[in-house]
Amino acid sequence: MPCLSDRVLPAVWWGASLESSRNFRQKEKTDMNNPQQNKLNMYQAVSLVLESHKPTWTPLTGFASAVGDLDTNIDTITSLAQVQSARSGAAAEKGAVLESLLDSATQIAGATRAGAVISKDYELATKANFSRSELGRGRSAEVVSRCRNVWTAANDNLDVLGAFGVTASRLTSFKKRIDDFETAQPKPRQDRANSSAATTTLPELFKHTDEILNDCLDGLIVQFKDSDADFFNAYQTARKIVSAPGTRKKTVVTPAPQPA
């Protein structure tokens, strides 16, 4: 089985850079399952050993090519893990943007209704007759439509509403918050789709990385057993998969009964 770059690797179409993924892989918790996380830790340990002994294997172009494949796969795995963990951030962002929008919408609607009632413009008062909970009720598209209607009603009557605190600058801010929320609407759904795609891609990527180690590097490292024992031994140690704390149940050993 070939061990060099003669097969197509899964693409990271979400645009995460390799440099950012290298930084991420050391400090972010991912949504990979425990066996995958333990295996990734092993890959990273091997990569560190290879990097620290680079002058030893660099002259061997085949060895160097396999190391390049390994590092590329590690970067791709951590990029996919980053995509998995990003979805909660999008949901939180959408919630914060909604709260900001409702703050502004409630103020504009309240001031507009007050001005309309005093001016005896009951049609305008009806258009602005919303509480905060009513403005935020329903689907995201309904919230946007409701807020845009309030903005339009206020903007069309700006000349008489200035005395009630409805100004051009406040309406500009209100409109921007509507636009921001509309932009944030699809992000959680997009993140869920991306996360699902990442989860589907990971098993094949782990399989290919195992092939690089099992079928290539594990065989190539043997030639350094005598000439560079430190390198060989460090590689063998790094290749052991260690379960992270909390990833498996403790085995309880019951002492054998003592003879009477």
* pLDDT the model gives residue 187: 67
Burial of 111 (C-beta count, 10 Å sphere; 0-12/13-18/19+): buried
Distance CA 73, CA 154 (A): 55
* pLDDT the model gives residue 242: 86
Q: pLDDT tens, 45-77?
A: 999 999 999 999 999 999 999 999 999 999 999
Token readout for 51 is 């990097």
Confidence check: pLDDT of 8 > 60: no
Distance CA 104, CA 150 (A): 11
The percentage of the chain sitting over the pLDDT mark of 90, rounded to a whole number, equals 62
* pLDDT the model gives residue 244: 65
Question: Cα 248 from chain centroid?
Answer: 26
* pLDDT the model gives residue 208: 96
Q: pLDDT tens, 208-223?
A: 999 999 999 999 999 9
Instruction: State mean pLDDT over 2-13.
Output: 45
pTM listed for this prediction: 0.52
